[in-house]
Amino acid sequence: MSIERIVLMFAGFMVLLSVVLSQAHSVYWLGFTAFIGVNMLQSAFTGFCPLAIILKKFGKKSGSAFA
């Protein structure tokens, strides 16, 4: 599995988790959802993704987006 797929899977999971937590516990969890969205936006424009850097250090192969 490439870095891109792992990053997208992780981001999607975290968004779903934060939405569930906002419904179960507190609306403030939606701030975490917004943080994930902002991080994804800046990654699209700059190519900088902290998770991609970590995965690359662990030896995962990158595709074209996070090369």
Query: Tens of pLDDT along 6-60?
Result: 999 999 999 999 999 999 998 899 999 999 999 999 998 998 989 989 999 999 9
Whether the CB-CB separation of 67 and 57 falls below 8 Å is answered with no
Helix/strand/coil percent split, the chain, to 5: 75, 0, 25
pTM of the predicted protein model: 0.79
Length of the chain: 67
* Structural domain boundaries in the chain: 3-57
| Res 67: pLDDT | 52
